Amino acid sequence: MAATEVAQSRRIVTEIPGPKSRAIQERRRSAVAQGVGSVLPVYVERAGGGIVEDVDGNALIDFGSGIAVTNVGNADPRVVERAAEQLGRFTHTCFMVNPYEAYVEVCEALNRITPGDHEKRSILLNSGAEAVENAVKIARSATGRQAVVVFDHAYHGRTNLTMGLTAKNMPYKQGFGPFAGEIHRMPMAYPYRWPTGPDNCGPEAAAMVIEQITKQIGAQNVAAVVIEPIQGEGGFIEPAPGFLPAVVEFCRANGIVFVADEVQTGFARTGDMFASEHEGVVPDLITTAKGIAGGLPLAAVTGRAELMDAVHGGGLGGTYGGNPAACAAALAALSAIEADGLVERARAIGELMLGRLRELAAKYEVIGDVRGRGAMIAIELVQDADRTPATEALAKVLSFCHSRGLVLLSAGTYGNVIRMLPPLVIGDELLHEGLDILEEAFAQL
């Protein structure tokens, strides 16, 4: 059954999870390492548009997109067709052994659509973490420097280097050390929690970062500053206005490679093709993954030709990086984003969601903040005027929404943020229905 045939309406026919899902979950316990969790253990049968159908015949509203991956929708027929055509010709040769055109085409597309009209090069990899690791390798190789600057609330992946770059200990880092050296963490311009208020946040945070880099590391020792232009896992924290441009300017003045980790924010998600564009930021290197290939595993680093080409021949690569089926899927997904006007659609989703969530926030004090851009929207839950994180309320809201068939994720250093990442092809009706469920959850608190 093609994805387009997945009926775009919620349907709940069993408890959530249903009996078939529970039976598979039981088998899972003795087969799958328990360190890997699942937000909502309903086992999937098919998915398309804004709907995920499970093995019990329930149809759930998707506010997760598999963590910001299926921006163009799940199993988009154009993605499926192009990847299937490629699979039928060859599945793998390894680009480092016998190359193929689709890899080159994806790099050409990335060089074209990423911010800045300078000369660019790209490399393809398998995961977001691998992209971030490679960006650091390239920045170190190109600058001859070692230090890497990251931020509070950052999330960059689960490999050893990217765990080190990631801020939150539990669950990402606990027990997994030692971590790589020369990683330096700086304050984040987090408007909602900035001590002197959101209006001062951008300039004050930038000044603190610049001072700490200068005094504690020495700008001349810094290879790269790595930052998410809107933090994802950290709680959809949009840096206060002016912060990113000030950090970029400091990097430019000091020969530091500015790396935008757009693994979660990329590919129309935030209502721009890339979130950096919002403040006119042009990264030296940009890491992408998640939304790049309509659900197939692919990642990339794209950046200034002189940096990318500074690495010696054979210094970059990997067996599967830029797998041909993933490349074919990416080409279809990237043209779908443009053909379907998904940048504009993401903006419309953002307006709809922010409007309704602000109404909710006015009604329920537990909603301390509503934020985000495009189809990357979050609410932060607090217990009181001191903004104490409301983690219990979050658990109740999530579990209510899950039981009603709304796929919803949490986030945040304090575990008190509900994040919404619907596929960009979701219809307004499903969006409203999902928000109705969320509203009911708050009414029930």
**Does residue 125 interact with ligand PLP by CB under 6 A?**
no
- Which of these segments, 72-80, 104-112, 126-134, 202-210, binds ligand PLP (CB under 6 A)? 126-134
**Does residue 155 interact with ligand PLP by CB under 6 A?**
yes
**Does residue 263 interact with ligand PLP by CB under 6 A?**
yes
Binning the chain into helix, strand and coil, the percentages to the nearest 5 are 40, 15, 40
**Does residue 425 interact with ligand PLP by CB under 6 A?**
no
**Does residue 275 interact with ligand PLP by CB under 6 A?**
no
Rounded to a whole number of angstroms, the minimum distance from the CB of residue 129 to ligand PLP is: 3
Determine which residue in the list 106, 167, 225, 289 makes contact with ligand PLP, applying CB under 6 A.
289
**Does residue 127 interact with ligand PLP by CB under 6 A?**
yes
φ, ψ for residue 275 (rounded to 5)? Answer: -65, -25
Rounded to a whole number of angstroms, the minimum distance from the CB of residue 351 to ligand PLP is: 24
Rounded to a whole number of angstroms, the minimum distance from the CB of residue 419 to ligand PLP is: 11
Q: Yes or no: say if 135 and 122 are a contact pair by the CB < 8 Å rule.
A: no
Alpha helices in 90-197 (DSSP H): 101-113, 128-143, 160-165
DSSP 239: P
> Residue 132 in 3-state DSSP?
helix
- Which of these segments, 127-135, 271-279, 314-322, 337-345, binds ligand PLP (CB under 6 A)? 127-135
Rounded distance between C-alpha atoms, residue 429 and residue 159, angstroms: 39
Q: Indicate the residue among 128 and 405 with the shorter CB distance to ligand PLP.
A: 128
Rounded to a whole number of angstroms, the minimum distance from the CB of residue 162 to ligand PLP is: 7
Nearest residue to 354 (alpha-carbon basis) of 376, 341, 338, 370 = 370
Using CB under 6 A as the criterion, what x/- string covers residues 379-418 for binding ligand PLP?
----------------------------------------
Q: Yes or no: say if 60 and 406 are a contact pair by the CB < 8 Å rule.
A: yes
Rounded to a whole number of angstroms, the minimum distance from the CB of residue 64 to ligand PLP is: 13
Q: Indicate the residue among 180 and 310 with the shorter CB distance to ligand PLP.
A: 180
Give the C-alpha distances (Å, rounded to integers) separating 23 from 43, 53, 54, 236: 10, 17, 13, 35
Size of residue set near ligand PLP by CB under 6 A: 14
Residue 67 CB neighbour total at 10 angstroms: 18
φ, ψ for residue 103 (rounded to 5)? Answer: -60, -45
Q: Indicate the residue among 153 and 347 with the shorter CB distance to ligand PLP.
A: 153
**Does residue 129 interact with ligand PLP by CB under 6 A?**
yes
Q: Indicate the residue among 62 and 233 with the shorter CB distance to ligand PLP.
A: 233
**Does residue 156 interact with ligand PLP by CB under 6 A?**
yes
Q: Indicate the residue among 76 and 228 with the shorter CB distance to ligand PLP.
A: 228
Nearest residue to 234 (alpha-carbon basis) of 413, 415, 414 = 413
Q: Determine the residue type at 334.
A: L
Q: Indicate the residue among 21 and 134 with the shorter CB distance to ligand PLP.
A: 134
Residue 169 CB neighbour total at 10 angstroms: 13
Rounded to 10 degrees, the C-alpha dihedral 287/291/292/296 comes to: 120
Rounded distance between C-alpha atoms, residue 366 and residue 379, angstroms: 10
> Residue 425 in 3-state DSSP?
coil
Q: Indicate the residue among 124 and 289 with the shorter CB distance to ligand PLP.
A: 289
**Residues 409, 281, 371, CA angle at the centre, nearest 5°?**
30
Rounded distance between C-alpha atoms, residue 72 and residue 65, angstroms: 9
Q: Indicate the residue among 157 and 368 with the shorter CB distance to ligand PLP.
A: 157
Rounded to a whole number of angstroms, the minimum distance from the CB of residue 291 to ligand PLP is: 10
Q: How far apart are the first and last CA of the chain?
A: 40
- Which of these segments, 169-177, 200-208, 256-264, 365-373, binds ligand PLP (CB under 6 A)? 256-264
Determine which residue in the list 128, 235, 350, 434 makes contact with ligand PLP, applying CB under 6 A.
128
Torsion sign over Cα 313, 315, 320, 321: negative
Rounded to a whole number of angstroms, the minimum distance from the CB of residue 156 to ligand PLP is: 5
Rounded distance between C-alpha atoms, residue 300 and residue 132, angstroms: 9
Rounded distance between C-alpha atoms, residue 87 and residue 82, angstroms: 9
**Does residue 264 interact with ligand PLP by CB under 6 A?**
yes
Rounded to a whole number of angstroms, the minimum distance from the CB of residue 445 to ligand PLP is: 29
Determine which residue in the list 261, 369, 380, 433 makes contact with ligand PLP, applying CB under 6 A.
261
Rounded to a whole number of angstroms, the minimum distance from the CB of residue 388 to ligand PLP is: 26
Q: Indicate the residue among 296 and 307 with the shorter CB distance to ligand PLP.
A: 296
380: which strand partners? 369, 417
**Residues 259, 265, 266, CA angle at the centre, nearest 5°?**
80
Q: Indicate the residue among 150 and 430 with the shorter CB distance to ligand PLP.
A: 150
**Does residue 163 interact with ligand PLP by CB under 6 A?**
no
Interaction site with ligand PLP (CB under 6 A) = 127-129, 132, 155-157, 228, 232-233, 261, 263-264, 289
